[in-house]
Amino acid sequence: MLGSDLQREVEELYNTYARVLDDGPLEAWPDLFTDPCTYQIVPRENFEADLPLAIMRCESKGMLMDRVHSVQETIVYEPRYLRHHITNISGTEVDGDLTVQANYSVIEVLPEELPRILSVGRYLDKVVRAGGQLLFKEKRVVYDSELVPNSIVFPL
């Protein structure tokens, strides 16, 4: 368990993370990571079988920026709104580095459709302090479902 000040600071990082992805600017998303870093979206099927494939895999701030750039410039997709809901944030600290786990769900709204759950699962993260602020050194998004409803355009 983290001390209450640290817990609050960690929760603020996740609040910022959700806000940046839901309301933008998307360019601010890579700034929440160290460089190098890892960001992966992993189907639970692969996670449990120890298979390395991630459906989104970034290994540096540059790759995060390339993903942002692609979402903004090259990928063709229907417009959509996303809302992240991050709960049950808990962590442990060893020598200042934090191992943090949280539940997440992301609700997606597409044109002419009712809201639906795009993804639900766990964040399995490593958080470190760099330049005075907490940043993600590792973020692993493990989604529970086998199926993805069509496409995941934005990071989870």
Partner 1 sequence: MTTSTTPLPHLNWPQGDVTTIPYALYTDPDIFDLEMARIFQGRGWSYVGLEVEVREPGDYLVTNIGNRSVVIARNQEGNLTGFANRCAHRGVKICRQRRGNTRMFVCPYHQWSYNADGELRGVPFIKGVKQQGGMPDDFERADYNLPKLEIETRNGVIFASFDTSTPPLEEYLGVTNTTWFDRVFDGRELKVLGYSRQLIPGNWKLMFENIKDPYHASLLHVFLVTFGLFRADQKSQVLMDDTGAHGLLISQRGEQKADESTRDITNLKENFELADPRLLDPVKEYDGDATVVMQTVWPNLIVQQQSNTLALRQIQPRGPGSFELAWTFFAYADDDEEMVTRRLRQANLMSSAGLVSTDDSEVIKLAQDGISAFQDESGTLLMGGKGTDNEQHMVTEAAIRAFYKHYRAVMEI
74 is a site residue for partner 1 (CB under 8 A): yes
90 is a site residue for partner 1 (CB under 8 A): no
Which own/partner contact pairs does 128-133 have at CB distance under 8 Å and 24+ positions apart? 128/34, 128/96, 128/97, 128/98, 129/96, 130/34
- In the complex, least distance from residue 95 CB atom to partner 1, rounded to whole angstroms: 28
95 is a site residue for partner 1 (CB under 8 A): no
31 is a site residue for partner 1 (CB under 8 A): no
Q: Which stretch binds partner 1 (CB under 8 A): 6-14, 39-47, 97-105, 122-130?
A: 39-47
**b/e per residue, 43-79, with b = 16+ CB within 10 A?**
beeebeeeeeebebebebbebbeebbeeeeeeeeeee
**Closer of 43 and 91 to partner 1 (Cβ):** 43
Indicate which single residue of 23, 27, 78, 97 sits in contact with partner 1 (rule: CB under 8 A). Answer: 78
